[in-house]
Chain A
Amino acid sequence: MPLKLLTQLSCRNLFRHKRRNLMLLSAIVVAVAGVVVLNSLLRGFQYDMQEAAVSNLTGHAKVLAPGYLDDPSIEKSFQLAKDWRPDVADDQLEGWAARIRIPAVIMSERETRGVQFVGVDPQRESISFLGSVAHRGEALQSAADRRVVIGESLAEQLDTDVGRRLVLITQGADGLNREAGFRIAGVYDADGENLEKIFVFTGIERLQALVDAEVVTEVSVKLVGNGAGESSIKDSLAAFFDDLDVLDWQELEPQAAAMFLFADAAMFIWFLIMMGALIFGLVNTLITAVMERIKELGMLRAVGMRPGAVVMQVVMESTLIMAVGVVLGILVGWLFILWLGEGIDLSRWAEGVEMAGMRSLLVPRLFMNDLVLVAGLSLFFGFVASLYPAWRAVKIKPLDALRR
């Protein structure tokens, strides 16, 4: 059966009832555009959350001493060769960092708080939030920097500021407490109060000197992009550090990982619901289109059109209008996302957003794969919706039709 002929017939039939089909088309466009926009927002949320989880001193994979997660102390540390670097191709590696991260008590002249004291090489911290936050005063300059940087919220709690001194108490490698004074180099403003309250940074060499051991408690590796190769990096790290634990970000941030998967499922459910809402109108319109053409379809059967070709004609009509709707819908959705521009400012709800592990700017993300999936599944739904009307069309008996 010549496809071209069927296409031509279907097109002209669609134009025969402009108002009705325009309405149907609008519904499809709203559905597809809605799915595309909601999808991109959810993807934005998802990747934001992942990015926040990864940059929260986690990385895509992390090496830890066994037992560190249950007992994060200097005893659960390990030595790292000076010339070590991860066995990852340069174009896949965004960066890596070795750190000491241990609990400590921090005291100003007036107040005392518990914090995570982190020794870092600031040059390596482009992979974590520390590399991108704004500082009042100065950021840490080198691994040997003897000063500290603290978060804005912690500075308020401690009633202190840049240039003042703080005392930190933490456990040394020998198990005894060490107490030392530090000058505040800078105060950082992170996207989230919790980060600001928890993390205090100094040069890693300074912290090693304080605890009396040339060790680290973690090595964090971040890959380029969304960490597509995280399983292979995990394997290669595990092979190298065979007596240590190697964990990926899903294991380190199980809540964020669960939410990540949940967002995938939510997207699919949204899509199904929208298509469900659409399908009633689609089936309704297609059936009407078949019923008012009973005579015509009967005649086509009489002059020798095969039943399969009649089915094809109805399916084609449904698929055609769906295809046009999908293209327009994706376009409208895309324009809407362009109009959103940099992202949606959620800072009105900053604390709630932080609780969900997101940032206050929700940047919609559009993935080609998602669009292809939406388009493909929409066409599939268009096909499914046409089955019943097509079956009605085949059931038409040429002779009954011609009698009418």
Chain B
Amino acid sequence: MADDVVVCRGVTRTYQDDAVPVLALQGVDFTVTKGEFVSLAGPSGSGKSTLLNVIGGLDRPDAGGIHVDGVHLNELSESELSDLRLSKMGFVFQAYNLIPVLSASENVEFILQLQGLPAAERAERAQAALDALGVGELAHRRPGELSGGQQQRVAVARAIVTEPVLLLADEPSANLDSNTTEELLALLRSLNETRGVTILAATHDPMVMSFAKRRVQLRDGMIAEDSARVAVA
């Protein structure tokens, strides 16, 4: 139990879509243990993004409980959720989502600044993170001056610079070509293996699934297939 980074129990989430209730999650039970690299797959509408969002504290379930690193998310306020994301989670989005007015290193440092770290330590850690992802030389460029792959690397650097307990990725390869995707995934895997970063990636890209150690398939708001469970069984 102490090694469980994410624990979901009976998580249900319903959306009101044009007056028709859409059941996005129907009582999902789901656990991620420390050091796992999990891919969440499924067709659109299967609930994979919703699951990722409720785990990330971006959305709240209608029923059921979610614990991240032992913290019960249901009991937290918006501001406390913000702080939790800041200290324990890293995010990688499909559209990179860097701040256009800040340079690459500033985008990475920014997170540390939110955490209130001193300037010298920030600069050092940001540079180390960028170096680790192979974009150390581009530190002073703004997002507009970087290629898609480079921007996504900066986004990953931003996600891991806080040494989060959990790295959440939402369709990280959606805007990348296959070569760049492969490079990115290799990087994520090495982060997972060498640093023990727990990764949860929502995707429908088979290449992402092939890099993940555990593959979870959702359908109609329920877990249809879980490679871990199969292995156990």
In the complex, chain A residues 1-38 whose Cβ is within 8 Å of any chain B Cβ: 1-2, 5, 9, 12-13, 15-16
When the two chains form the complex, which single residue of B83, B95, B101, B113 contacts A295, counting CB atoms closer than 8 Å? B95
> Can you list, as one digit per residue, whether each of B42-57 has a CB less than 8 Å from chain A (1) or not (0)?
0000000100010010
> Can you list, as one digit per residue, whether each of B74-112 has a CB less than 8 Å from chain A (1) or not (0)?
000011001111110101010101011110000000110
Q: Which residues of A contact B53 (CB under 8 A)?
A: 399
Shortest CB–CB separation between residue A158 and chain B, in angstroms?
79
Is B158 positioned at the interface, with any CB of A under 8 Å from its CB?
Answer: yes
Count how many pairs of residues, one from A and one from B, have CB atoms less than 8 Å apart in the complex: 71
The answer to whether A16 touches B82, judged by C-beta atoms less than 8 angstroms apart, is no
Q: Which residues of B contact A303 (CB under 8 A)?
A: 85-86, 91, 111, 114, 158
The answer to whether B101 touches A9, judged by C-beta atoms less than 8 angstroms apart, is yes
The answer to whether A302 touches B58, judged by C-beta atoms less than 8 angstroms apart, is yes
The answer to whether B111 touches A402, judged by C-beta atoms less than 8 angstroms apart, is no
Binds B, one of A79-87, A304-312, A337-345: A304-312
- Most-contacted residue by chain B among A302, A303, A398 (CB, 10 A): A303
> Can you list, as one digit per residue, whether each of B153-187 has a CB less than 8 Å from chain A (1) or not (0)?
00000100000000000100000000000000000
Is B59 positioned at the interface, with any CB of A under 8 Å from its CB?
Answer: yes
> Can you list, as one digit per residue, whether each of A282-326 has a CB less than 8 Å from chain B (1) or not (0)?
000000000000011001111111111100000000000000000
Closest to A16 in B: B101
Q: Which residues of A contact B59 (CB under 8 A)?
A: 399
Given known pairs A303-B91, A304-B87, the reply for A5 and B101 (CB within 8 Å) is: no
Closest to B101 in A: A12
The answer to whether A306 touches B79, judged by C-beta atoms less than 8 angstroms apart, is yes
When the two chains form the complex, which single residue of B86, B99, B101, B170 contacts A304, counting CB atoms closer than 8 Å? B86
A306 to B116, CA, bound (A): 13
Q: Which residues of B contact A9 (CB under 8 A)?
A: 99, 101-102
A397 to B110, CA, bound (A): 21
A402 to B89, CA, bound (A): 17
The answer to whether A5 touches B99, judged by C-beta atoms less than 8 angstroms apart, is no
- Most-contacted residue by chain B among A13, A301, A305, A306 (CB, 10 A): A306
Q: Which residues of A contact B116 (CB under 8 A)?
A: 2
The answer to whether A304 touches B113, judged by C-beta atoms less than 8 angstroms apart, is no
Shortest CB–CB separation between residue A143 and chain B, in angstroms?
78
Q: Which residues of A contact B87 (CB under 8 A)?
A: 304
When the two chains form the complex, which single residue of A1, A13, A304, A397 contacts B85, counting CB atoms closer than 8 Å? A304
Given known pairs A296-B97, A402-B170, the reply for A307 and B78 (CB within 8 Å) is: yes
Shortest CB–CB separation between residue B48 and chain A, in angstroms?
13
A305 to B113, CA, bound (A): 11
Q: Which residues of A contact B89 (CB under 8 A)?
A: 304
Q: Which residues of A contact B97 (CB under 8 A)?
A: 295-296, 299, 302, 402
In the complex, chain A residues 53-106 whose Cβ is within 8 Å of any chain B Cβ: none
The answer to whether B101 touches A13, judged by C-beta atoms less than 8 angstroms apart, is yes
A398 to B85, CA, bound (A): 12
A197 to B158, CA, bound (A): 85
The answer to whether A299 touches B93, judged by C-beta atoms less than 8 angstroms apart, is yes
Closest to B106 in A: A8
Closest to B111 in A: A303
A16 to B86, CA, bound (A): 27
When the two chains form the complex, which single residue of B85, B101, B113 contacts A2, counting CB atoms closer than 8 Å? B113
When the two chains form the complex, which single residue of B49, B82, B95 contacts A307, counting CB atoms closer than 8 Å? B82
Q: Which 7 A-B pairs have the closest CB atoms?
A: A304-B86, A12-B101, A304-B85, A299-B97, A306-B82, A5-B113, A306-B79
Using a CB–CB distance below 8 Å, which chain B residues touch chain A? 49, 53, 56, 58-59, 78-79, 82-87, 89, 91, 93, 95, 97, 99-102, 110-111, 113-114, 116, 158, 170
Given contacts A2-B116, A305-B86, A399-B53, 13 further A-B contacts (CB under 8 A): A1-B114, A2-B114, A12-B102, A15-B101, A295-B95, A295-B97, A296-B100, A304-B86, A304-B87, A304-B89, A304-B111, A304-B114, A307-B82
* Interchain residue pairs with CB less than 8 A apart (15): A9-B99, A15-B101, A295-B97, A299-B91, A301-B58, A302-B85, A302-B91, A302-B97, A303-B86, A303-B114, A303-B158, A304-B83, A305-B114, A399-B49, A399-B58
